[in-house]
Amino acid sequence: MKKHTIVALVQDRPGVLSRVVGLIRRRGFNIESLAVGHSETPGISRMTIVVEWEDVEQVVKQLYRLIEVLKVSDVTNDPTVEREMALMKLHAPPAKRPEIVALTEVFDAKIVDVGANTMVIEMTGSPSKVQNFIDVIRPYGIREMMRTGRIAMVRGARGHTAEEYVESANGHAERVPAMN
Amino acid sequence: MSEKRTGAQVMCEALIRNGVEVMFGIPGGAIMPFYYAMWEYRDKLRHVLCRHEQGAGHAAEGYARATGRLGVCIGTSGPGATNLVTAIADAMMDSTPILAITGQVGSHVLGKDAFQETDITGITMPITKHNYLVKRAEDLPYVFEEAIYIATTGRPGPVLIDVTKDAQQATIVPNWDIKLDLPGYKPNYRPNLKQVREAIKLILSAKKPLIIAGHGIIMSGAVEELRAFAERTRIPVITTLHGIGAFPEDHPLSIGMPGMHGWVHVNRAIQECDVLFNIGGRFDDRVTGKASTFAPNAKVIHVDIDPSEIGKNVKVTVPIVADARLALQAFLDEFPPDREAFAELHGHASDWMEHIREMQAKHQPKQQYLNRSDTANMSLPPHDVYAALTKALNSRGNYRVVTDVGQHQMWAAQLIDWYRPRTHITSGGAGTMGFAVPAALGVAIAHPNDTVWAICGDGGFQMTNQEMATIVQEGIKNVKIAVINNGYLGMVRQWQELFENKRYSGTPLSGPDFARLAEAYYWKGITVEHTGQVEAAIEEAYATDGPVLIDFRVEREVNVFPMVPQNKSIGEMILESPHQS
């Protein structure tokens, strides 16, 4: 099974995250990463879902069944910018700090907190770069770590603005009455 | 309209505004304000008190399936809501438009494990088309409007609204100036003409074309269009279990039901056909058998209003996302672009039909199964019941038949003659035992001038038969129940006989004396033990001005044939028990 990156535009209503996750869970797939946040338009959120799927087209269609889902794209094969953020609280006694600072600079990460024996480092980058940094820094002793999950955006003019969907909300589909 | 209203009054008014006339439910603590308000509106909103919320849900389904209108069911919070779950799941599988209204504990105790609290929106998320938790009375007009719109448009389905008790009690000035805001919900009704033309090209090139008519024909009201299209093209028509009634079975182009218990000639025709035109059917696995071996030579045209159905189970050559009626209208408008090809299609279609009829004559399904030699020594073979019932239905007309789930359901689909839409109502996708009696209640209320026959097995009947009391309380007289009583969970027993070496594990089933049980419910009860008594019993049921139950104590171990074993190709049908000779 291939890993797929799905980007979904959804209406910001209660339960929408649950519905999306539930639909994927129903098919027995494990979500590897999920990130949700506001889009450029109020009331609309963007989700990035990374999951191993065999039949991604079918799941994309199923997601469209959800009332709040506006747009779903499988961007796996598209040129995308992908980012992830990790916060790491390191075991950092004074003697080790120069090495850690040096590595942090090499990876373009940021030191955001320094305590008596700890440092918190913020690392943002492509998922593989974040992973490389974690691998390098791990021997110093990671006390706590949090990762945001991946967010992805298609490069260039392609992609979907939330605006198009807000605009089209005027009125609703004609109702065709059943007759028998 | 600027008068103050309670949330509960708003709920009643929202239903009335949307044309709701009848609701099925049971009150309880968290839904009491709604019932309190209902009293004021009792002239416009009829409430039917059921005996179990599952019954209320199935009754709402029966009403919806018999009319095409919204069915409404009500339960209180907690167990009242969870009892609705089976019916909601059933409605989801069969695309039935129902609205389930549940009470919820007060919003101040929501999520605190309050008395009779259940997260019903969480529970029903995967089995509703959409659902809502309403905590503010101000939201009720919009939510009801949107919920009913979603339930009844596009591919219909169940919608649940869970309303906290305080939202029902709060007093507000309702805002009925509603503009729906559903940017993510735009069902596509009109077909893409390019695809229609492509499909027509495919049909014109066919030598062995077939139409499969599914539930979508009935839901969209496309019966006339289907008939016109079939007659113009002369393509043979298959009707699925839910497509029964979409095409009259006495029509020369009708060839019958496909699938697990479909006819031999129908399944063989599917395996041979070169173009398969499925309108409003979803290629259920009970239709396709092993999907990878289904219709191996066919190019498939699939019309469905739900894009996620297309390509789900069967590979499709021409997908058409549309309402079945509008799609067929487009096909009629576009046909025929090429007179020569059209004439050729006619020629092929009649040769093909001849071939199908030859296959049918070889197996003579209906006659063969109605006059089986192996039933000669039986005092009451089930088929004799269906023969007599079919005769009575045909001679009197005005019938609706609701079937439960199991052997009796398949016999009904196979052996009764079906002509009109919404006369055959059954639980297909979910296969819910206990569906028939409460669904018949809903159908009888929708069609008081028709005779509503509920055909049940003795297993499913014992799951919801308490709704017989509801039928009496409501003064309903046009319901007759036929229990095909073989003392087994018959369909499972059949599988055990055929595939598990007759290990009848958990299938022998005793029951009470059903006729006496009926009498206890103030019904007329009749027991039939011999073929000779069948006709008189049915006559008596018709002659009785009130509900009647007939307990047909049929031969215990008769099987439904033909049968495609699970996970086999529909070309591999079993025609008789290997154990009998």
Task: Write the CATH number for B100.
Answer: 3.40.50.970
Q: Are strands B237-239 and B209-213 parallel, antiparallel or unpaired?
A: parallel
Residues in chain A within 8 Å Cβ distance of B133: 14-15
Shared-domain flag, residues A67 and A109: no
Whether B340 maps to a domain, the answer reads yes
- The Cα–Cα gap between A152 and A47 comes to 9
Among B122, B153, B219, select the one facing A173 at the smallest CB separation: B153
Residue A171: what pLDDT? Answer: 43
* CATH classification at residue B240: 3.40.50.1220
Q: Catalytic residue at B391?
A: no
Shared-domain flag, residues A58 and A7: yes
Shared-domain flag, residues B111 and B217: no
Residue tagged active-site, from B491, B497, B533, B563? B491
Backbone region of residue B487 per phi and psi (left: phi > 0; alpha: psi in -120 to 50; beta: other values)? left
CB proximity list for B256: less than 8 A, separation 6 or greater: B238, B239, B249, B262, B263, B265, B266, B365
Where does the pLDDT of residue A164 fall: very low under 50, low under 70, confident under 90, or very high at 90 and above?
confident
Helix axes of B339-363 and B264-272: crossing angle, nearest 10 degrees: 140
> Does A24 contact B at CB distance below 8 Å?
no
Helix axes of B436-446 and B53-67: crossing angle, nearest 10 degrees: 50
Closest listed residue to residue B54, CA positions, set B86, B10, B77: B86
- The Cα–Cα gap between B211 and B198 comes to 16
- The Cα–Cα gap between A73 and A153 comes to 11
Residue-range definition of the domain harbouring residue A140: 81-152
Q: What is the pTM of this model?
A: 0.95
Whether B310 maps to a domain, the answer reads yes
Residue-range definition of the domain harbouring residue B474: 379-553
Residues in chain B within 8 Å Cβ distance of A67: 129-130, 150, 182, 184-185
Closest listed residue to residue B92, CA positions, set A65, A148, A81: A65
Domain count, chain B: 3
Closest listed residue to residue B273, CA positions, set B353, B368, B333: B353
* CATH classification at residue A36: 3.30.70.260
Shared-domain flag, residues B19 and B168: yes
Q: Are strands B159-164 and B98-104 parallel, antiparallel or unpaired?
A: parallel
Residue B371: what pLDDT? Answer: 63
Whether B452 maps to a domain, the answer reads yes
Among A26, A69, A178, select the one facing B126 at the smallest CB separation: A26
Residue B579: what pLDDT? Answer: 60
Among B131, B180, B311, select the one facing A172 at the smallest CB separation: B180
- Collapse the DSSP code of B171 into the 3-class scheme (helix H, G, I; strand E, B; otherwise coil) and give the result: strand
For residues A125-153, average pLDDT: 95
Q: Which residues of chain B have pLDDT under 70?
A: 1-2, 368, 370-374, 579-581
Whether B568 maps to a domain, the answer reads no
- The Cα–Cα gap between B174 and B10 comes to 7
Residue tagged active-site, from B11, B23, B24, B53? B53
> Does A180 contact B at CB distance below 8 Å?
yes
Shared-domain flag, residues B14 and B49: yes
Give tens-digit pLDDT for A55-113: 888 889 999 999 999 999 999 999 999 999 999 999 999 999 999 999 999 999 999 99
Among A11, A14, A178, select the one facing B183 at the smallest CB separation: A11
Give tens-digit pLDDT for B315-351: 999 999 999 999 999 999 998 778 899 999 999 999 9
- The Cα–Cα gap between B63 and B268 comes to 36
A67 and B185 within 8 Å at the Cβ level: the answer is yes
Helix axes of B531-543 and B382-396: crossing angle, nearest 10 degrees: 30
Residues in chain A within 8 Å Cβ distance of B153: 173, 175-176
Residues in chain A within 8 Å Cβ distance of B219: 178
Domain count, chain A: 2
Shared-domain flag, residues B296 and B212: yes
Whether A101 maps to a domain, the answer reads yes
Shared-domain flag, residues A122 and A85: yes
Please, which residues 149-178 of chain A have a Cβ atom closer than 8 Å to chain B?
A: 165-166, 168-169, 171-178
A173 and B154 within 8 Å at the Cβ level: the answer is yes
- The Cα–Cα gap between B137 and B172 comes to 7
Shared-domain flag, residues A73 and A7: yes
Whether B420 maps to a domain, the answer reads yes
Shared-domain flag, residues B130 and B230: no
- The Cα–Cα gap between B504 and B496 comes to 6
Q: Catalytic residue at B145?
A: no
Which backbone phi and psi does B75 adopt, to 5 degrees? -140, 160
Whether A180 maps to a domain, the answer reads no
Shared-domain flag, residues B360 and B401: no
Shared-domain flag, residues B540 and B406: yes
Q: Catalytic residue at B491?
A: yes
Whether A44 maps to a domain, the answer reads yes
CB proximity list for A105: less than 8 A, separation 6 or greater: none
Shared-domain flag, residues A64 and A93: no
- The Cα–Cα gap between A50 and A48 comes to 7
Shared-domain flag, residues A97 and A127: yes
Q: Catalytic residue at B500?
A: no
**Which stretches within A97-147 are classed as H helix?**
97-106, 127-137
Gap between the terminal Cα atoms of chain A: 46
For residues A37-48, average pLDDT: 94
Residue A170: is its pLDDT beyond 90? no
Whether A123 maps to a domain, the answer reads yes
Contact A90, A139 (CB under 8 A): no
Whether B581 maps to a domain, the answer reads no
> In degrees, to the nearest 5, what angle opens at C-alpha B469 toward C-alphas B464 and B475?
130
Token representation of residue A35: 């990130």
Cis peptide before B126 (omega within 30 of 0): no
Concatenated DSSP letters for B238-304? EE-TTTTTSS-TTSTTEEE--STTS-HHHHHHHHH-SEEEEES----HHHHBSGGGSSTT-EEEEEE
> Which of these three, B172, B203, B227, is where a domain ends?
B172
Contact B555, B486 (CB under 8 A): yes
Residue tagged active-site, from B104, B129, B165, B271? B165
Token representation of residue B409: 């359901």
User: Half-sphere exposure of B356 toward its Cβ, with a 13 Å CA cutoff?
Assistant: 29
- The Cα–Cα gap between B423 and B62 comes to 11
Residue B167: what pLDDT? Answer: 98
Residue A169: what pLDDT? Answer: 46
Shared-domain flag, residues A66 and A15: yes
**CA B40 from centroid of its chain's CA atoms:** 34
Shared-domain flag, residues A66 and A52: yes
Where does the pLDDT of residue A27 fall: very low under 50, low under 70, confident under 90, or very high at 90 and above?
confident
Q: Closest Cα of chain A to B152: distance in Å?
A: 9
Shared-domain flag, residues A104 and A128: yes
Among A22, A70, A179, select the one facing B184 at the smallest CB separation: A70
> Does A72 contact B at CB distance below 8 Å?
no
B interface residues, A as partner, C-beta within 8 Å: 68, 121-122, 125-126, 129-131, 133, 149-150, 152-154, 179-189, 218-221, 223, 306-308, 310-312, 323, 325-326, 421-422
Which backbone phi and psi does B319 adopt, to 5 degrees? -90, 135
What secondary structure letter does DSSP report for A44? Answer: E
Shared-domain flag, residues B355 and B406: no
